[in-house]
Amino acid sequence: MPQNSFFDNIQKQLNKQLPFVCYRLPNQSEVKAIFQNTADLWQTSNFTESGFVFAPYNIHKQAVLIPNSQSQRFSFDYQKSDTATSTKTTPQTNIGKEKHLNLVKKAINTINTSTLKKVVVSRTETIDSNNFNCIDCFKSLLNTYQNAFAYCWYHPKVGLWLGATPEILLQLKGNRFTTMALAGTKTNANSQWGKKEIEEQQFVTDYIQTQLQPISNFINTSPPETTNAGALQHLKTTINGILKTGYKLSHILSKIHPTPAVCGLPLAEATQFIVDNEGYDREFYTGFLGEINAESKTENRAKRNIENRAYNINQSASELFVNLRCMQIINNKAKLYIGGGITKDSNPNLEWQETIEKSMVMKNILNKL
């Protein structure tokens, strides 16, 4: 489909107030869109359907589904365009600083006096975005964050969300899975990783390995490496393996969502701290999104027919991302969601500054509109 027609169709879908999602996988040029034919609200909790899911942070709430059976699909090869420069800037604000500092201090104190080892605390920031244009914003996400999962998701009964997330939650193809432990944040490429960030990331790695061990025949874990996410850097460990017979997508999701990268450790204690102290509903922030149970063909070279041609095996494939670096658009206002992991070695002022830096991922996009 031509690029202009693609974006025209998105506008028509918006005008008709019908659900859709458009997205691009990291480091790829193909942009995909799924347009739902009606405004019905489809949900799932067992993840057996085929389509695009948008799942909340709260594991007790159902995920919203755009089913393939009720939708049309489009795609095109996106060529990066020149991003317009702008003198517009979003000023750094200290609104909410004292509240967030107190939240971080309370988290550190709780860690020092209980079994809690890590907890992720977050805040929101609302920015006026008059004359917000969804399509221009999505184009800017595509241009600016090419190594992230960039998306625009809309449902008239749920809302409008956009983001550029660096974190894979799960890739599952047949019985082979890949996930990652992504934690720790810094901005200076020349600085060394501190003890706090190394320990924080190791918590996530150990947890995921422990959770997946009972349902896996094999697990391989890479050494931690530094990965770029816009102007930020994180520590990343890649974990892949093979599921035991009888286990499927819903089983692995129940084991790894939410990870300590977005909640904390131990899970129950961190969850309760967030409920008691964060003071707002995260909704889809730190949830996950992506396609589930898509048909994927894999060439099987182990068995060949008499003409020496490889057989194709149809497998189910899912690719899900953690919903970080995102914003919700409500009545010409952009609601940004920002958080960070707290351990016993956290510094409250540095944790506040980290949320400022993370907020710039979306503010840089808004400044270009």
Tens digit of each residue's pLDDT, the chain (369 residues): 778 889 999 999 999 999 999 999 999 999 999 999 999 999 999 999 999 999 999 999 999 999 999 999 999 999 877 555 554 666 667 889 999 999 999 999 999 999 999 999 999 999 998 889 999 999 999 999 999 999 999 999 999 999 999 999 999 999 999 999 999 999 877 789 999 999 999 999 999 999 999 999 999 999 999 998 888 999 999 999 999 999 999 999 999 999 999 999 999 999 999 999 999 999 999 999 999 999 876 666 555 554 554 455 678 999 999 999 999 999 989 999 999 999 999 999 999 999 999 999 999 999 988
Domain residue limits at 187: 98-147+167-298+312-366
**pLDDT value of residue 94:** 82
Contact 367, 88 (CB under 8 A): yes
The CA distance from 111 to 101, in Å, is: 15
**pLDDT value of residue 298:** 62
What amino acid occupies position 360? M
> Is 347 within a domain?
yes
What amino acid occupies position 151? Y
**pLDDT value of residue 230:** 81
Contact 255, 244 (CB under 8 A): no
Predicted TM-score (pTM) of the model is 0.93
Region of residue 44 (left: phi > 0; alpha: psi -120 to 50; beta: else) = beta
> Is 281 within a domain?
yes
Tell me how far apart the terminal alpha carbons of the chain are, to the nearest angstrom.
Answer: 25
DSSP 234-249: EEEEEEEEEEPTT--H
User: What are residue 274's phi and psi, to 5 degrees?
Assistant: -60, -45
CATH of residue 209: 3.60.120.10
Distances in whole angstroms, Cα of residue 262 to Cα of each of 160, 168, 181: 22, 13, 11
Q: How many distinct structural domains can be found in the chain? A: 1
Tokens of 353: 């500054």
> Is 106 within a domain?
yes
> Is 157 within a domain?
no
> Is 154 within a domain?
no
**pLDDT value of residue 315:** 87
> Is 260 within a domain?
yes
Residue 113 CB: number of other CB atoms within 10 A?
8
**pLDDT value of residue 196:** 94
**pLDDT value of residue 302:** 55
The CA distance from 99 to 85, in Å, is: 34
> Is 50 within a domain?
no
